Amino acid sequence: MFFATPAYAAEAAEHGAEHSQALFSIFGLQVSSVVTTMWGLMVLIILFSYLATKRMNKVPESRLQNFLEFVLESILELLTPIMGDEKLAKRYFPLLASFFILILASNYAGLLPGAGHLPGLQAPTSTLSVTAGFAVVVFFATHYYGLKTKGIKYFKHFVQPFPFLLPLNIIEEFVRPLSLSLRLYGNVFGEEMVVASLFALIPLFLPIPMMLLGILFGLVQAFVFTMLATLYISMATAEQH
Amino acid sequence: MSGIIAIAAALAVAIASIGPGIGQGLAAGKAMESIARQPEAAGEIRTALILSLAFMEALTIYGLLIAFLLYGKI
Amino acid sequence: MNISIHDMIWAIINFLVLVVILNKFLYKPLLGMLDARKQQIQNRLDEADAERSEAAKMKDEYSRQMQNAKEEAREIIGKAARLAEESKSGIIQDAKDEAAQIMKKAREEIGLEKEKAKAELRNEVASLAVMAAGKVLERSLQVQDHEKMIREFVQKAGDVS
């Protein structure tokens, strides 16, 4: 964006940094284009999983089932070493796998043509509001699972290793969702801004390498978010600390 | 005034990328050494590498966000 | 960098709804199926292993029985051969003994016959000689005087022959 025309860059910055315009509202909650994009992605994901599991077979016959099996098994393989145990990994699997799938889909939605310009189509993870929402879910899930598994003893980890570190520990707890949301938002939004700037400079072939990088970064960021959420939950629920 | 803000935005992202750049280089180098020494542990090393790279990357992202904030004020 | 509280709440709601629906439509059936498949494959593998070890055991058993049978057969053949050898040499020995005995008996008989023939011949020769001598000498010689002398002569001649 540093070499784009200021007018365009300002517009792009406004698009991402400011929350997008409300299209309509349900129960007093305004629905913006990121929300509609999320709905679209959710419908696609649920449709695919429904089609894949409708006629499920122990001998995988459909490519869709094969693909989803591959995705889920890969996610499970990633979670298992951090959780330390496949049973534990399976307990928190729905939450963490949903993070991965939804964030990945959201990141790739930003690569669609017209994303961020057409009304109702904008990468959800390119706004801080959505990533902050995800981070809030991680924050509450971490403490919920910690309390659920350890009971009142869970609060002991705030005064460990030394009681005078209590403020630092509390700050750390709040910095985690902040860094989680800012990292995801910054990466996706920054990548989109660079693509937009390159597009403004030479619209033909120049943005393609950056978009290819965007495919890689989208995957890595979804991976990192899921990994960190897993790490936090695993640390909160671990028996020995 | 806007010129100074523009320079500040540029400096924010530029300086914020120096440290993580060095750190990520060191981490990736060490990870590659480890993979070369123990190819059977490549999967675990890669996971740990990506996690640590993400932590370092966050620092640059903070600088980038500051740059965006400043940019909006031009 | 404002945060829209509406977007944030929508994000949380959407995410939780997605978790619930995917849990129902994707994770539970698919992971359950994966587990079932893993279990089934494991069972099949276990069964195959058990069957293979069973088969190996049976094969061992059979080969051991085979070995035993072979050894037994060899033993039986060996015993029979030894027995045959023994009986063969016994028969040959018997035959040899019998032959020797027959031979000996024959020889004895021959000797006896010879002796008898000799004695007969001697008597015959003696009487013939006396007769011949009597005929030749007739008067000049008294039978009683010279019979003793002639008998002695014939005796000597019989000894020489």
Cβ within 8 Å, pair B10-A187: no
The model's pLDDT over C92-143, given as tens digits with 9 standing for 90+, comes to 999 999 999 999 999 999 999 999 988 888 888 888 888 887 777 765 655 5
Query: For position A161, what pLDDT does the model report?
Result: 75
- Look up the domain containing A15 and give its range: 6-237
Distances (CA, A) of C133 to B44, B53, C147: 148, 161, 10
- Domain-located, residue A1: no
Nearest CA in chain B to C2: B69
State the Cα angle at A145 between A141 and A147, rounded to 5°. Answer: 120
ipTM of the complex: 0.82
**Nearest CB to C25: which of A25, A53, A132?**
A53
DSSP C2: P
> Is there a contact between B4 and B73 (Cβ–Cβ < 8 Å)?
no
Cβ within 8 Å, pair A97-C27: yes
Q: What is the percent of chain A where pLDDT is above 70?
A: 88
For residues A83 and A94, what is the distance between their CA atoms, to the nearest angstrom?
14
Tell whether A2 lies on the interface with C, counting CB pairs under 8 A. Answer: no
Tell whether A69 lies on the interface with C, counting CB pairs under 8 A. Answer: yes
> Is there a contact between A50 and C25 (Cβ–Cβ < 8 Å)?
yes
Query: For position A151, what pLDDT does the model report?
Result: 81
Neighbouring chains of B at 3+ CB pairs under 8 Å are A, C
**Pairs of residues, one from chain A and one from chain C, whose beta carbons lie less than 8 Å apart:** 125
DSSP A23: E
Q: Angle formed by the axes of helices B2-37 and B42-71, to 10°?
A: 180
C residues 1-60 near B, CB within 8 Å? 1
Looking at residue C145, its amino acid is: D
**In chain A, which stretches have pLDDT less than 70?**
1-22, 116, 239-241
Cβ within 8 Å, pair A97-C6: no
CB atoms within 10 A of CB C66: 10
Among A18-22, A209-213, C3-7, C14-18, the least confident range: A18-22
B residues 29-68 near C, CB within 8 Å? 65, 68
Higher pLDDT among residues C28 and B24, named by residue? B24
- Domain-located, residue A105: yes
State the Cα angle at A94 between A93 and A100, rounded to 5°. Answer: 85
**Length reported for chain A:** 241
Domain parsing of chain C, residue ranges: 5-160
Q: What is the percent of chain C where pLDDT is above 90?
A: 45
For residues A128 and A238, what is the distance between their CA atoms, to the nearest angstrom?
30
Instruction: Give me the mean pLDDT over the C13-33 stretch.
Output: 85
Nearest CA in chain C to B69: C1
Nearest CA in chain A to C33: A58
- Domain-located, residue A48: yes
Cite the DSSP H helix spans in chain B.
Answer: 2-37, 42-71
> For position B66, which CATH number holds?
1.20.20.10
Which residue out of A15, A18, A19, A21 would a mutagenesis test of the C interface target, given it has the greatest number of C Cβ atoms within 10 Å? Answer: A19
Tell whether C16 lies on the interface with A, counting CB pairs under 8 A. Answer: yes
Which two structure tokens, joined as six digits, stand for C37?
């498949």
Q: Which run of H or E residues covers position A154?
A: none
Total domains in chain B come to 1
For residues A207 and A201, what is the distance between their CA atoms, to the nearest angstrom?
9
**Confidence label for B19 from pLDDT (cuts 50, 70 and 90):** very high
- Look up the domain containing B42 and give its range: 2-72
Q: According to the per-residue pLDDT averaged within each range, which of A41-45, A52-56, B6-10, B22-26 is highest?
A: B22-26
What's this model's pTM, rounded to 2 decimal places? 0.70
The model's pLDDT over C54-99, given as tens digits with 9 standing for 90+, comes to 999 999 999 999 999 999 999 999 999 999 999 999 999 999 999 9
Instruction: Give me the mean pLDDT over the B46-72 stretch.
Output: 84
> Is there a contact between B69 and A7 (Cβ–Cβ < 8 Å)?
no
